[in-house]
A and B are shown apart, each in its own frame.
Chain A
Amino acid sequence: MENQKLIPRLLSYKVSFTLIVFVALLVIFQIFTPGHTFFQRANLFAMARLAPDLGIVTLGVGILMICGEFDLSVVSTIPISSYVFVKLLGFGVPLWINLIVTLGVGVVIGLGNGFLVTRTRLPSFILTLGTMLFWKGLLYASSLMMPIGIRSWLPPGSWLENILVGIIGGVFPVQALWLVGFASLLAVMLHFTKFGNWIFVTGDNETAARAMGINTSAVKIMAYVGVGVLCSVVGLMQCLRIESFSPNQGVGVELKSIASAVVGGTALTGGIGSVIGIFVGTLTIQIIENGMILLGLPAFGIGTFIGAVVIMFAVLNKYISRWSSR
């Protein structure tokens, strides 16, 4: 009985639609890009190396949206994690301790957001806008907005670099494996565990969830901590890839991740969504950007196409929901 419900959950109508569009785009871009460059090794390599930045953040943000909340502070968590990592490198802290502390930054920011949202019961969009500005202000004051290179303290080829941003066999970026790994782990958590069920119920109807005995505050706090940790991982990956801390890391990711989750069929109102959808949604947004440039379309028009796609998916999701609920 339970298994019969799993399939519609994993492959709902919205996800099916996103998947169809995703595959159609792959075909269109491969056929129409001059020289059929879309599936060229260099392009796939670049996509596999860079797409996980947004993809990993979107996984956390999407699950939080299913839980009925938003987190705009992701744009601060990424550079703060990177900054803490670089400063600890400078202090000569061993790499494994540094890794734990850097991930701890995400935990602390996530806990702060979670407590703030659940205690005040105010809209998370506003509260996390506030925490985003708060953390960013602190970061700018401490870093004086200057980039800090890592090579004075961390020579190329460290174990952390190999694990997080290495290239397997000189051809396959390990970041892509992290994206798939996180997606698989979160898919199991969201769709196959009791906690995942609590996330859906909390996002769908919080009052009913509490009446059922679910500690909705704890569920939300955990979801925020998840987002924080994923952002710290991305901050660390970016720092190692660009070989420096930069105060501009993560700019725009807060809205792009929400847009990607929406394209993947996640409801802005909470309670609806899937990890497969979020995963495909973030890839769809990124291949549109990539494909448009490969097609040689006007450089200044890329945002227009992405905006149109986000609106199209938001509208279609609404009508598909109505249609499927009949």
Chain B
Amino acid sequence: MKKRAISIAALTLLILLLIPTLAFAQAKPGAGMYFRLITHGGNDPFWAVFQKGMIDAAAELGCRADIDLAGSDQNLQAKRLQEAVAMRPDGISLCINDDKMWDKPVADAIAKGINVVGTNNDDTQGSAGNARLAYIGQNERRAGLMIGRAVFEAAKVKGVNLATMKVACAVEVAGANYGVVRASGIMDAMAEYGIPGKPEIVDCTIDMTTAEQRITSYIIAHPDVKAMFGLGGICTDRLTSGMKNAGKKAGDILGGGFDATPGLITGLKTGYMVASIDQQQYLQGYFSVYVLYLMKKYGFAPQIDTGGFLITKDNIALIEKLSPQNIR
């Protein structure tokens, strides 16, 4: 009887000792919070990295976070936003990929007490055009300017006559906001380097073979083109093959682009590509969760530019190492 009482007392003591420890272990700062990330993205590598950033941040903070991928269907994205607002989460991160359609839904959500931040895509007027409380993403125009500068500087060093230089841009989704703004940034760089005219836009679609076919045909039809940019990951990936198919040698056309893909790595190693801009979308997913958490807790509302990392042949080892982990 006495032995049993001692056992019970020891067990009780052990439980009492463990409870605060367990409670401490579980008490992560974001416990109990729920955030929703609503994007126009699709099932592609870009958004897998974005999602990884979100998952990692949520795990660190101990909060819950979910992502919606609307597959470029804006109506579906709008529906997902309505559903999210109805769920009354602690914050929403939204891709603001249209200057008009998100104005009222975002204002309404904020009026209901839900924090809404922009990510990946922003209103072209920034906070003046949309009521979102913060923005986490690449400044697309600045990114275009940076890649333009990198490629035109290489052309200058190579002795290309900039006054007569012809520039082209291959884009996956013709007329999409990302391509238009990035091309504007490239035009800014053209102006800086005294390159006349505008870049010619080549509509390539998101099919890799079609993109390669069209890039090849364009280069054959325009033998005077001296610099070519892929405005998105698919075109950037196919640019090197397109140049090779058209019979160009490394350096005949200076290539630049956006995002990191196997085709880009080959292009950088073989000298067909000068550089590419990594918009570091892992940080967009990661900081979306952190900003919403800090906004809920302390009211912080930062503007975070995640872009501007220039991938060149000097740093591709880093990209090659982190890419399989869905971080770059």
A interface SS class? helix
Query: A54 and B209: CB pair below 8 A?
Result: yes
- Pick 28 A–B contacts, CB within 8 A, sort by A: A41-B247, A43-B216, A43-B217, A45-B247, A46-B213, A46-B216, A46-B220, A46-B246, A50-B212, A51-B213, A145-B44, A145-B45, A238-B208, A242-B208, A242-B238, A242-B262, A244-B261, A246-B45, A248-B44, A248-B207, A252-B205, A290-B213, A293-B217, A293-B218, A295-B221, A299-B202, A299-B203, A300-B203
Query: B45 and A242: CB pair below 8 A?
Result: no
Residues of A within 8 A of B175 (CB): 300
Residues of B within 8 A of A37 (CB): 220-221
* Chain B positions 21 through 58: 1 when the CB is less than 8 Å from some CB of chain A, otherwise 0: 00000000000000000000001110111000000000
Number of A-B contacts (CB under 8 A): 123
Residues of B within 8 A of A34 (CB): 221
8 Å CB contacts to B: which residues of A126-164?
136, 140, 144-149
Residues of A within 8 A of B241 (CB): 241-242
Residues of B within 8 A of A114 (CB): none
User: CB of B181 within 8 A of chain A?
Assistant: no
Interface size class, chain B: 35 or more
User: CB of B200 within 8 A of chain A?
Assistant: yes
Please report the C-alpha to C-alpha distance between residue A296 and residue B219 in the assembled complex, in whole angstroms.
11
Query: B217 and A247: CB pair below 8 A?
Result: no
Query: B43 and A247: CB pair below 8 A?
Result: yes
- Other-chain residue from B201, B246, B261 in contact with A299 (beta carbon distance below 8 A): B201
Query: A299 and B324: CB pair below 8 A?
Result: no
- Other-chain residue from B212, B214, B263 in contact with A293 (beta carbon distance below 8 A): B214
Query: B43 and A50: CB pair below 8 A?
Result: no
Residues of B within 8 A of A50 (CB): 209, 212-213, 216, 245
Q: A50-B209, A145-B43, A289-B214 are in contact. List 15 more A-B contacts (CB 8 A).
A: A35-B223, A41-B247, A43-B216, A46-B213, A46-B245, A49-B245, A136-B43, A243-B263, A243-B266, A246-B208, A248-B234, A293-B217, A293-B221, A300-B203, A302-B214
Closest to B221 in A: A294
- Other-chain residue from A42, A246, A248 in contact with B246 (beta carbon distance below 8 A): A42
Question: Shortest Cβ distance from A243 into chain B, in angstroms?
Answer: 6
Please report the C-alpha to C-alpha distance between residue A302 and residue B171 in the assembled complex, in whole angstroms.
14
Question: Shortest Cβ distance from B163 into chain A, in angstroms?
Answer: 23
Please report the C-alpha to C-alpha distance between residue A52 and residue B241 in the assembled complex, in whole angstroms.
16
Residues of A within 8 A of B209 (CB): 50, 53-54, 238
* Chain A positions 36 through 63: 1 when the CB is less than 8 Å from some CB of chain B, otherwise 0: 0100111101100111011000000000
Please report the C-alpha to C-alpha distance between residue A249 and residue B262 in the assembled complex, in whole angstroms.
14
Residues of B within 8 A of A226 (CB): none
Please report the C-alpha to C-alpha distance between residue A253 and residue B210 in the assembled complex, in whole angstroms.
10
* Chain B positions 217 through 255: 1 when the CB is less than 8 Å from some CB of chain A, otherwise 0: 110111100000000001001100100011100000000
Closest to A241 in B: B241
User: CB of A27 within 8 A of chain B?
Assistant: no
Residues of B within 8 A of A68 (CB): none
Residues of A within 8 A of B246 (CB): 42, 46
Question: Shortest Cβ distance from A255 into chain B, in angstroms?
Answer: 11
Residues of A within 8 A of B245 (CB): 42, 45-46, 49-50
- Other-chain residue from B43, B49, B212, B213 in contact with A140 (beta carbon distance below 8 A): B43
Closest to B49 in A: A146
Query: B174 and A299: CB pair below 8 A?
Result: yes
Residues of A within 8 A of B326 (CB): 144, 146
Closest to B241 in A: A242
User: CB of A33 within 8 A of chain B?
Assistant: yes
Query: A289 and B262: CB pair below 8 A?
Result: no
User: CB of B143 within 8 A of chain A?
Assistant: no
Residues of A within 8 A of B234 (CB): 248
Closest to A291 in B: B217
Query: A43 and B323: CB pair below 8 A?
Result: no
User: CB of B265 within 8 A of chain A?
Assistant: yes
Residues of A within 8 A of B222 (CB): 296
Query: A42 and B247: CB pair below 8 A?
Result: yes
User: CB of B59 within 8 A of chain A?
Assistant: no
Query: A294 and B263: CB pair below 8 A?
Result: no
User: CB of A282 within 8 A of chain B?
Assistant: no
Please report the C-alpha to C-alpha distance between residue A242 and residue B207 in the assembled complex, in whole angstroms.
12
Closest to B41 in A: A145
